[in-house]
Structure 1
């Protein structure tokens, strides 16, 4: 199963790489970006779009770090609480409470 997964991933990477090459060859026009105070030198449209994609992916990953860290911390707290409860229940099983008569 792992071998099939690896083959599928390699094929997917090849298809995406081919698509990226075709995209860059068909978008050779150059643009100048006006960033309010600064203008970039002429760069290709493909480069602008690829860099935008990379920056967006990095910002998205960074935005997910805080919720991910909170979820992991919550899971660790729940695991500690569970271990403490299990230890407590084992202690009760060893030393049952005597009924008062």
Structure 2
């Protein structure tokens, strides 16, 4: 894989050390409305008795920049965050979100 590849998930600006309000770039080919529709699909998927963990993980990866922007700029309460991003509070997504933000494995 080339370093300059625009489709690469690694093409996200890395936060500087201790940069708390880091806002990553949106994925190429995505805008806020397309990511909002994916957020709504996550909410609907979480209402199912057996939600698809692969679909949720894929959409949570794609919508990271939107979620990060909302959390940094709006500072919603935990209740509001739970309503908008219900998958964020699953154990697998807590680990994945920690990895997205810090680039470190939470379990280690």
TM-score, scaled relative to structure 2:
0.26
- Identify the structure with the greater helix proportion: 1
More relative contact order, 1 or 2 (CA 8 Å, 6+ apart): 2
- Identify the structure with the greater strand proportion: 1
TM-score, scaled relative to structure 1:
0.27
